[in-house]
Amino acid sequence: MKIMTTTSELRKELSKLERPVGFVPTMGYLHEGHLSLVDKAREDCVAVVVSIFANPSQFAPDEDLENYPRDIDRDVELLENAGVDLVWIPTVEVMYPEGYQTWIDVDQLSKLLEGTFRPTHFRGVATVVSKLFNAVGPDKAYFGQKDAQQAAVIQRMVRDLNFPIEIIICPIVREPDGVAMSSRNTYLDQEERLAARCLSRGLFLARDAYLNGERRAEIIKKIVSDEVEFEELAQLQYVSCADPNTLEELENQIQDCLVSMAVFVGRTRLIDNIILGK
Ligand code: AMP
């Protein structure tokens, strides 16, 4: 496995790879969720490239970039064991050289849901992913359903800007108790980690209700919010029932629906979601 920092090193190594090339962008501190994307890429493609870059432009000044967990040695070992061919670990200077001023804005999708609370987040995501795509030039790129809105934004961007890349969205990998795997789970102390179960518990109860015929958006959302409200250490930021494609909020009777939520558990902001009806 080759590890690179600069784009010229990357270009040289990429030219030696056989196609199709699968690409998995990450911010590092890898877990089974990330590795599930790598496994899928391995299955589909001849070569697999992974990037590790905690992208400053998708963090607001009051968010957790400084403290974002990092363990490059462990990440590299996990990727080596997973059979990855190239790991690209660019520096901030490589990605955003002095004077940098070009941004990608996926206008409508970026404003909804997460965008209400993180107004500059998806501009940072779309920009860095397009830069990573330009540098790596993969045939296929793999993203997790865990970040449902990110997946929608990237799919829109790829269509709008004619990136010749197939986007593959992989299911959420959960801990045995239902909590969605996330690098940010590491911020939780023992009590908070237990409290974090309220997100998936609420979503699974909503799924049960849906399977039993419940179609009222307000009731589905109430089932989710009640689970969070029972939990003393948790504070709901939002719960939404939205169209899975447009992310527009659904009123009244739902058919297919993305139920998504953000919750503060202590000071840690967690997100989770489930798709109903597909
Ligand atoms: P991150 O390092 O958090 O930027 O995540 C890198 C990629 O892994 C993104 O496409 C995420 O959606 C995906 N991912 C993160 N957590 C999970 C999970 N629990 N299950 C599946 N994919 C995930």
Terminal CA-to-CA distance of the chain, rounded, Å? Answer: 38
Q: How far is CA 144 from CA 65, 67, 169, 188, in A?
A: 20, 23, 5, 22
pLDDT at 278: 76
Residues 82-105, mean pLDDT to the nearest whole number: 98
Could you report the per-residue pLDDT of 41-57, keeping only the tens digit for each?
Answer: 999 999 999 999 999 99
pLDDT at 52: 98
Check for a shared fold between 2-170 and 183-276.
Answer: no
Residues pairing with 141 in the sheet: 23, 167
Query: What does the domain layout of the chain look like in residue ranges?
Result: 2-170, 183-276
Task: Using pLDDT thresholds of 50, 70 and 90, give the confidence band for residue 252.
Answer: confident
Q: Which of 146, 165, 173, 175 to mutate to test the pocket of ligand 1 (most atoms within 8 A of CB)?
A: 146
Q: Does the CB atom of residue 36 touch ligand 1 within 6 A?
A: yes
Close Cβ partners of 102 (under 8 Å, ≥ 6 residues apart): 127
Catalytic, 121? Answer no
Q: Does the CB atom of residue 181 touch ligand 1 within 6 A?
A: yes
Could you report the per-residue pLDDT of 129-139, keeping only the tens digit for each?
Answer: 999 999 999 99
Q: Which of 51, 122, 147, 199 to mutate to test the pocket of ligand 1 (most atoms within 8 A of CB)?
A: 147
Pair type for strands 166-170 and 140-144: parallel
pLDDT at 20: 98
Check whether domain 183-276 has CATH 2.60.40.1930, yes or no: no
Going by alpha carbons, the residue nearest to atom 12 of ligand 1 is 144
Going by alpha carbons, the residue nearest to atom 6 of ligand 1 is 26
Could you report the per-residue pLDDT of 184-226, keeping only the tens digit for each?
Answer: 999 999 999 999 999 999 999 999 999 999 999 999 999 999 9
Check whether domain 2-170 has CATH 3.30.70.2190, yes or no: no
Task: Using pLDDT thresholds of 50, 70 and 90, give the confidence band for residue 170.
Answer: very high
The SS3 of residue 62 is: coil
Tell me the Ramachandran region of residue 178: left when phi exceeds 0, alpha when psi lies from -120 to 50, beta otherwise: left
Say which of 14, 26, 34, 49 is annotated catalytic.
Answer: 34
Q: Does the CB atom of residue 26 touch ligand 1 within 6 A?
A: yes
Going by alpha carbons, the residue nearest to atom 5 of ligand 1 is 26
Q: Does the CB atom of residue 259 touch ligand 1 within 6 A?
A: no
- Residue 83: pLDDT over 90: yes
Which of 147, 143, 67 is closest to 115 using CA atoms?
Answer: 147
**Torsion sign over Cα 200, 202, 208, 214:** negative
